Structure 1
Amino acid sequence: MNLVNLENVSLAYGPNVLLDSVSLGLDDTDRVGVVGRNGGGKSTLMGVVSGRVEPDSGRVTHTRALRLGQLLQRDEFPAGATVRGVVLGDRAEHDWAGDPRIRDVLTGLLPGWDLDVPLAERSGGERRRVALARLLIGEHDLVILDEPTNHLDIEAIDWLARHLRERRGALVVVTHDRWFLDAVTTRTWEVSDGQVHRYEGGYAAYVLAKAERQRQAAAAEERRQNLIRKELAWLRRGPPARTSKPKFRIDAANALIADEPPVRDTVELVTFAATRLGKTVYDVLDVTVRLDSGQPPIFDHLTWQLGPGDRIGLVGVNGAGKTTLLRLLAGEVAPEAGRVVRGKTVRLGHLSQELAELDPARRVLESVEEIRQHVRLGKREFTAGQMLERFGFRADRQWTPIGDLSGGERRRLQLLRLLMDEPNVILLDEPTNDLDIDTLNELEDLLDGWPGSLVLVSHDRYFLERITDRVLALLGDGGLAMLPGGVEEYLERRRSGGAVAQIPGRREAEQRAAETPRPAAAGPSAAEVRAARKEMQRVERRLERLGSRESELHEQLAASAADYARLAELDAELKALLAEKEQLEEEWLSAAEGAGE
Structure 2
Amino acid sequence: MESYLQVENLSKSWGYDTLFQHVTFGVNEGEKIGLIAKNGSGKSTLLSIIAGEADQDDGTVIFRNGLRVGYLKQMPTFDGSRTVIDTCLTGDDARSIAVKHYEEAIKHGGNELMTTAIQAMDNAGAWDYEDRFKQILSQLKIDDIDQPVSQLSGGQIKRVALAKILIDEPQFLMLDEPTNHLDIDMIEWLEDYLTRSHMTILMVTHDRYFLDKICTKILELDQAGIYSYSGNYNYYLEKRAERIDAQNAAVDKARNLLRTELEWMRRQPQARAHKAQYRIDAFYDLRERAQVRRDEGNVKLNVKAGYIGNKIFIAHHVSKRFGDKVILNDFNYTFARYEKLGIVGDNGVGKSTFIKLLLDKLQPDSGNFEIGTTVKFGYYSQDGINFDEGKKVIDAVRDVAEYIYFDEKTHYTASQFLQLFLFTPADQQKLIEKLSGGEKRRLYLATVLLQKPNFLILDEPTNDLDIPTLEILEDYLSRFNGCLIVVSHDRFFMDRVVDHTFVFMGNGVIKDFPGNYSEYRAWKEYHEKAAATAARPATTVKAKPQRANTHDNSNRLTYKEKKELEALTQELESLNKEKRELETLFDSGAAIDDIASKAARYEEVKNLIDEKELRWLELSEKDEK
- Output the TM-score relative to the length of structure 1: 0.73
Query: Are the structure 2 counterparts of residues 344 and 243 from structure 1 closer, same or farther at C-alpha, using a change threshold of 3 Å?
Result: farther
**1:325 and 2:382 equivalent?**
no
1:387-398 alignment to 2 at 5 Å? 387-393=417-423, 398=428
257 and 484 in structure 1: CA distance in 2 versus 1, 3 angstrom threshold: same
Matched, 1:345 2:346: no
**Alignment map for 1:221-260 (pairs within 5 Å):** 221-223=251-253, 231=260, 259-260=289-290
Specify the code of the residue in structure 2 equivalent to 1:156.
Answer: M
The equivalent residue for 1:90 is: 97
Is 1:426–1:454's contact at 8 Å kept on the other side of the alignment?
yes
State the distance in 2 between where 1:374 and 1:216 align: 37
Per-residue CA deviations over 1:132-177 (Å, capped at 9, x if unaligned) read 1111112322111122122111111111111111111311111122
Q: Distance in 2 between matches of 1:425 and 1:62?
A: 51
Matched with 1:283 is 314
Q: How does 1:289-368 map to 2 (within 5 A)?
A: 289-290=320-321, 292=322, 294-356=323-385, 358=387, 364-368=393-397
CA contact (8 A) 2:40 2:435 kept: no
Q: Do residues 141 (structure 1) and 171 (structure 2) align?
A: yes
Listed as ranges, the matches of 1:28-177 within 5 Å are 28-53=29-54, 55-88=56-89, 89-92=96-99, 93=102, 94=118, 95=121, 96=126, 98-99=128-129, 100-111=131-142, 113-177=143-207
Structure 1 position 475 matched with structure 2 position 482: no
Aligned with 1:199 (options 226, 229, 249): 229
Distance 1:210 1:144 in 2: 24
How far apart are the structure 2 equivalents of 1:385 and 1:151?
33
Spell out, residue by residue over 1:418-445, the C-alpha distance to the aligned partner (whole angstroms, 9 max, x if none). 2222111111111122211121122122
Gaps of 5+ in 2: 90-95, 103-117, 530-589, 596-625
Q: In structure 2, the residue corresponding to 1:277 is in which secondary structure?
A: coil
Aligned to 2:455: 425
Segment of structure 1 superposing worse, 355-364 or 172-181:
355-364
Structure 2 CA distance for partners of 1:226 and 1:399, relative to 1, 3 Å: closer
Decide whether aligned partners of structure 1 residues 214 and 19 sit closer, same or farther in structure 2, where only a CA change above 3 A counts.
Answer: closer
Q: Secondary structure at the match of 1:421?
A: coil
Higher mean Cα deviation, 416-425 or 9-18?
Answer: 9-18
Determine the structure 2 residue equivalent to 1:585: none
Letter in 2 for 1:28: E
Aligned with residue 208 of structure 1, among 238, 244, 253: 238
The number of equivalent residue pairs is 498
Q: Report the CA distance between 1:326 and its aligned residue.
A: 1.8
Alignment-mate amino acid for residue 87 of structure 1: C
Hey, what's the Cα distance between the residues in 2 that align with 1:73 and 1:309? Answer: 36
**Cα deviation, residue 57, structure 1:** 3.9
Partner of 2:305: 274
The one of 490, 511, 532 equivalent to 1:460 is: 490
Unaligned runs of 5+ in 1: 500-517, 524-597
- Map Cα deviations across residues 477-508 of structure 1 (whole Å, 9 max, x no partner): 32421345743576689999979xxxxxxxxx
Query: Using the alignment, how far apart are the partners of 1:128 and 1:233 within structure 2?
Result: 56
Q: Distance in 2 between matches of 1:424 and 1:43?
A: 35
Shift of 1:461: 1.8
Shift of 1:130: 1.3
* Structure 1 residue 405, shift from structure 2 partner: 4.6
Q: Residue 315 of structure 1: CA displacement?
A: 0.4
Partner amino acid for 1:107? S
Rounded to whole Å, the distance in 2 between the matches of 1:254 and 1:165 is 48
Alignment check: 8 A CA contact 1:4 1:49 kept: no
Tell me, what secondary structure is at the counterpart of 1:44? helix
1:454: how far off? 0.6
CA positional deviation for 1:457: 0.6
Alpha-carbon deviation of 1:283?
1.8
Alpha-carbon distance in 2 for matches of 1:170, 1:151: 23
Following superposition, the deviation at residue 63 of structure 1 comes to 2.1
C-alpha deviation, 1:221, in angstroms: 4.4
Equivalent residue number for residue 607 of structure 2: none
Q: Which residue of 1 aligns with 2:614?
A: none
Q: 1:71 to 1:215 in 2, by over 3 A?
A: same
For 2:338, what is the secondary structure of its paired residue? Answer: coil
The Cα shift of 1:299 comes to 1.0
* Alignment check: 8 A CA contact 1:265 1:392 kept: no
Alignment partners' CA distance in 1, 2:446 and 2:324: 38
1:190 to partner: Cα distance: 0.7
SS at match of 1:480: strand
Query: How far apart are residue 46 of structure 1 and its match?
Result: 2.3
Q: Cα–Cα, structure 1 residues 139 and 396, in superposed 2: closer, same or farther, change >3 Å? A: closer
Matched residue, 1:22: 23
Query: Which deviations, in whole Å up to 9, do the C-alpha atoms of 1:264-305 show, x marking residues without a partner?
Result: 899856211222332222222222233x3x434411111112
8 Å contact kept, 2:255–2:290:
no
For 1:162 and 1:372, locate their aligned partners in 2 and report how far apart those are by CA, in whole Å: 46
Q: Give the match for residue 594 of structure 1.
A: none
Does the Cα contact within 8 Å between 2:40 and 2:439 map onto a contact in 1? Answer: no
Give the distance between the partners of 1:176 and 1:405, measured in 2 at CA.
18
- Aligned amino acid, residue 349 of structure 2: A
The correspondence of residues 406-445 of structure 1 with structure 2, limited to 5 A, is 406-445=436-475
Structure possessing the higher radius of gyration over alpha carbons: 2
The sequence identity of aligned pairs, in percent, is 34
**Maintained 8 Å contact 1:347/1:424:** yes
| Greater shift in the superposed pair: 328-337 or 78-87 | 328-337
Secondary structure at the residue paired with 2:329?
Answer: strand
How far apart are residue 120 of structure 1 and its match?
1.3
| Structure 1 residues 359-404: Cα deviation after superposition (integer angstroms, max 9, x where no partner) | 5566544443343321234644322233234434455665666566
Deviation at 1:114?
2.1
Distance in 2, Cα, partners of 1:484 & 1:426: 20
Which AA in structure 2 matches 1:384?
Answer: A
**Contact 2:325–2:507 (8 Å) recurs in 1:** no
Aligned-partner SS, 1:442:
helix
Q: Distance in 1 between matches of 2:54 and 2:223?
A: 19
Provide closer, same or farther for how the CA distance between residues 233 and 175 of structure 1 changes in structure 2, counting only shifts above 3 A.
closer
Structure 2 CA distance for partners of 1:172 and 1:135, relative to 1, 3 Å: same
Cα deviation, 1:17-61, whole Å, max 9, x if unaligned, reads 334223222111111011112232222332344445554444433
How far apart in 2 are the matches of 1:48 and 1:315? 36
SS in 2 for 1:26: strand
CA RMSD of aligned residues (A): 3.9
Q: Is this contact kept in 2: 1:153–1:317, CA < 8 A?
A: yes
Which amino acid counterpart does residue 366 of structure 2 have in structure 1? Answer: A
Determine if contact 2:251/2:292 at 8 Å carries over to the other structure. Answer: no
Residues 45, 399 of structure 1: CA spacing in aligned structure 2 closer, same or farther, 3 A cutoff? closer
Separation in 2 of the partners of 1:76 and 1:412? 24
Distance 2:261 2:194 in 1: 56
